[in-house]
A and B are shown apart, each in its own frame.
Chain A
Amino acid sequence: QVQVVQSGPEVTKPGSSVKVSCRASGYTSGSYGFTWVRQAPGQGLAWMGWISAYNGDSKIEKQFQGRLLMTRETSTATAYMELKSLRSDDTAMYYCATTVEGSTGWYEKLDYWGQGSLVSVSS
């Protein structure tokens, strides 16, 4: 049974950075991917990026290029999402989602979701 657990809420100031972690358990190999999705208050879902747990390949949505850094740590099955130069409109719930084992592409369905990490950006 795969479980995805994210780090807790963050309160930050404009211009700063935030780093959210996402730990997956229940996989027997590194053949899966992590996807980051965010949801602003009262809004819909927005795809941010994907990183392969297998080889670290990644894709980033163009609006986040230059501000978003995704990494992963294979020994702990943990992915990290760091968003820099935060603005007030980055206030959102950030979700990490993973794929079934063996499904490694950015195009895969999102099978398992973390509980979300609320990031609040305010001066």
Chain B
Amino acid sequence: DIQMTQSPSSLSASVGDRVIITCRASQTISRYLHWYQQKPGKAPTLLIYEVSTVQRGVPARFSGSGSGTEFTLTIDSVQPEDFSTYYCQQSHTLPPTFGQGTRLEIK
């Protein structure tokens, strides 16, 4: 199975900060990399798909980039509603696998 490793596992940020979350795959996954946001007690929601396409309705402060095995999720000017857990997922190879999650907390 392809292992997805996110870093950091948790981070603290202040409102207005720029935040970068990294996701590394154990093998090349082309562009089959997606990001989800999960707020406490809620189902995940799709944020970004295929590395860099922002899901409709997601604020423009969210962006994604990367290729091959290394990918990033960037939040420009973090807002209070962004404090959540973020997961990357590869869907290049069965079984699709998720990163362990990155918890973004308020500093």
Contacts and interface: CB of A to CB of B under 8 A. Distances in A.
B58 to A, nearest CB: 12
A113 B97 CA distance: 17
A89 to B, nearest CB: 17
B98 A46 contact: yes
Contacts of A115: 43
Contacts of A59: 94-95
Contacts, number: 53
Nearest to B53: A109
Contact of B101 (A44, A47, A108, A110): A44
Task: Kindly state the interface size class of chain A when it binds its partner.
Answer: 20 to 34
Interface of B: 32, 34, 36, 38, 43-46, 49-50, 55, 87, 89, 91-92, 94-101
Contacts of A114: 43
16 contacts: A44-B87, A45-B98, A46-B98, A47-B95, A47-B96, A59-B95, A61-B95, A97-B44, A106-B94, A107-B92, A109-B49, A109-B91, A110-B89, A111-B46, A113-B43, A113-B45
A95 B96 CA distance: 15
Nearest to A114: B43
A109 B34 contact: yes
Across the A-B interface, give the 3 residue pairs with the lowest CB-CB distance, nearest first: A113-B43, A109-B49, A107-B91
Contacts of A110: 34, 36, 44, 46, 89
B52 to A, nearest CB: 13
Contacts of A46: 98
A33 B38 CA distance: 21
